[in-house]
Chains A and B, each alone.
Chain A
Amino acid sequence: MKSAGSGARRFRFLAAIGVVPFLGYVAFFLIIPAGSVMIQAFRDNNGRLSLSNLATVLSSQQPWLHSYVVSLELSAVSALIAAVLGLVGTVALVSSSNLLARRLVTTACGVLANTGGVPLAFAFIATIGNAGVATHVLAEIGFNPYDHGFSLFSFTGLVIVYLYFLLPLVVLLTLPPVEALRREWREAAATLGASPRSYWQKVGLPVLTPPLIATLMVLFMDAFAAYATAQALTTGSVPLVPIEIGALLAGNVVSNQANLGDALGFGMIVIVVAAGVLYVLVQRRTARWLR
């Protein structure tokens, strides 16, 4: 298809118009709202540029900093526990040579990784809520966890529930890197005198570390941004940033600072994007090595 230089360029230009709907849509419903949040975070009640919102959020007199801390803690703890347990699951999965079983488990993981929100919260309430089935069973044995300070509607409870969709995600994300650990490495290390432990220490774990960090970032972002599960379970009893934003929007919490919610949202964006950037950086190295 021969075309003169300028003709082709014009053709390209016309074709480029074709992506306008897509880009426009994203701009309209994502960029502009997100941009507005980030800009409004720096506007005070009179609409002038100011850092007062940020100051309020970061102030130790106010509850907002605490909710960031709790959110970060919740995300970090869930991510770490999920990563460790999930990795054990992945290693167990990889050790099986039954392809059908593997396919089944990964499909199940794909389904479970999307299970969350309200139905999941209620399922756990039915299990280990204070009137839950498992709670009753344990009470009959004589050990009612609620008598010993445990509650589903707490930080610990949230971690337990978050694990439900984070664990399968770990298996899915770590399966390719763990499978990429070549048998030849282990065998070569053995012939060179390395015990299995030495191999893991010097080769296995170092090679797995970048993908593991990447996975941790994904888990962290997922847990940090989660709203539905937390809301359905704790309805605000555990201070989390997404919940606080929701409360501000619903007018449940009235603040004399108009754009406080935006400041909180800005903080969320910064944290999530930082995790995302770290993810991308770490993945670049993995891609190079495992080529």
Chain B
Amino acid sequence: MTITVPPRAESLARERTRGGVVLELVNCRRTYGKVHALDAFSITVAPGELVALLGPSGCGKTTALRAVAGLEQLDEGRVFVGGEDITHVSPHRRNVGMVFQAYSLFPNMNALANVAFGLEVRRVPAAERHKRAGELLELVGLAPLAERYPHELSGGQQQRVALARALCVEPRLLLLDEPLSALDAKVRSQLRDEIRRIQLEVGITTLFVTHDQEEALSIADRVGVMRAGRLEQLGPPAEVYSTPTSNFVAEFVGSVSRLPGEMKAPDTVAVLGARLAVPASAGAGLRAGQKVDVLVRPESIRMRPTPDGPAVVARASFLGAVVRVVAALPDGVEVTSTLPASEGFTFPAGARADIDLLGDILFVVARPPAT
């Protein structure tokens, strides 16, 4: 499955940033005491690409981002922007634009002055920098609020101003540190699409850090899943979602249903009464006869209410677009399935149901031996 990205819209002549530059981190390591915030972390971001770093808190994604900005020192490793080694360049000379989670606007300046700040530091004359700042406020849709001070702006508006401010100096890179985490849900999804639209329009190489997998999947060209300072998997959203290369990635990037199964051959597993092929990415080193857990997405499990089906419905929840059903297999294991509500099936508790596996297996994990 490929994702089609809409062609880049005509922008206001941003010649220099169109096309963007390559961002490369090579073998970066950062330790605090005994904790490895970053551990042999390497990644390359293509020009104009948006890569989302996704992971739980403490996985090192923010450390990686801040290392690119120069706000964190690396113990080992290098950072290259457009081929230039900036590892030891101080942050105010790196020319990277950064948007923080919250509270980053300067309180003593209004929105326009905030956006124009980078140009002010570069001694651009007032008239010109105010004009530029005005253009950027237009880009983020906040032109009428130019005179407002940060404390007079909502969270979402503040983040837009922060984005405009970061882009105003035409940086080579855009770094976003969980920019939506402090906002409420509705604003979050609106702003998320806005950020992507602007990023495509400007064509700037972007690194986006988040712990929200829906955010990462929806806007990124590629998603990098991180854990304990390392990159577990890097690939387009669909790939990371459908063909995870580890148990951790499978469980982090979306919900997971576990089914008991048994390997019949190194590449075949018996599950739910059927024999299915195990994709190469989904499990290695498994032998025939091994008891395993088969991980699938809940929407890959099909349940139908049937009078003499093997599974017994425990509970069903109506979630608007989908129905989530939890049913117990004959051996007691509970399985979660998500069905489109439009299919109209009802699953009263205690009813019997048929379970089928559609779609691919996500991942297969050897079941730990019973103690």
Contact = CB atoms under 8 A, between A and B. Distances in A.
A/B: CB atoms within 8 Å of each other = yes
Contacts of B94: 191
B92 A194 contact: yes
Contact of B151 (A188, A190, A192, A288): A288
B151 A191 contact: no
Nearest to A187: B71
Contact of A189 (B70, B117, B162): B117
B229 to A, nearest CB: 21
Interface string A265-288: 000000000000000000000001
B279 to A, nearest CB: 42
A190 B117 contact: no
Contacts of A191: 69-71, 91-92, 94, 96-98, 166, 175
Contacts, number: 82
B106 interface: yes
A195 B94 CA distance: 12
A148 interface: no
A131 interface: no
A198 B90 CA distance: 14
Nearest to B91: A190
Contact of A202 (B90, B117, B122): B117
A194 B98 CA distance: 13
User: Interface size bucket, B side?
Assistant: 20 to 34
B239 interface: no
Contacts of B90: 190
A203 interface: yes
B201 interface: no
B151 A291 contact: yes
A188 B100 contact: yes
Nearest to B173: A191
Interface in A103-158: none
B121 interface: yes
A188 B90 CA distance: 13
Contacts of B31: none
B107 to A, nearest CB: 4
Contact of A188 (B95, B98, B108, B122): B98
A185 B71 CA distance: 12
A202 B107 contact: no
B108 A289 contact: yes
B317 to A, nearest CB: 40
A192 B165 contact: yes
A68 to B, nearest CB: 35
Contact of A203 (B70, B92, B106, B122): B106
Nearest to B118: A192
Interface centre among B90, B106, B120 (most CB of A within 10 A): B106
B248 to A, nearest CB: 30
B104 interface: yes
B71 A202 contact: no
A36 B105 CA distance: 51
Contacts of A202: 106, 117, 120-121
Nearest to A210: B108
Given A184-B100, A187-B98, A188-B98, A194 B107 contact: no
Contact of A193 (B69, B95, B101): B95
A151 B100 CA distance: 56
Secondary structure at chain A's binding surface: helix, strand, loop or mixed? helix
A290 interface: yes
Nearest to A193: B121
Given A187-B98, A198-B121, A202-B117, A192 B107 contact: no
Contacts of A189: 92, 106, 117, 121
A108 to B, nearest CB: 31
B169 interface: yes
Interface string A193-206: 11100100011001
B117 A185 contact: no
Contact of B169 (A182, A187, A192, A289): A192
A177 to B, nearest CB: 11
A236 B103 CA distance: 53
B107 A289 contact: yes
Interface string A146-190: 000000000000000000000000000000000000101101111
A205 B100 CA distance: 22
A207 interface: yes
A179 B338 CA distance: 49
Interface in B80-139: 90-98, 100-108, 117-118, 120-122
B200 to A, nearest CB: 22
B178 to A, nearest CB: 12
B104 A188 contact: yes
Contacts of B107: 207, 289-290
Contacts of A190: 69-71, 90-92
Contacts of B122: 193
7 contacts: A184-B101, A189-B92, A190-B90, A191-B175, A193-B122, A202-B106, A206-B108
Interface of B: 69-71, 90-98, 100-108, 117-118, 120-122, 149, 151, 162, 165-166, 169, 175
Given A185-B106, A202-B106, A202-B120, 13 more contacts: A184-B101, A187-B91, A188-B105, A188-B165, A190-B70, A191-B69, A191-B71, A191-B96, A193-B118, A193-B121, A207-B106, A289-B108, A290-B107
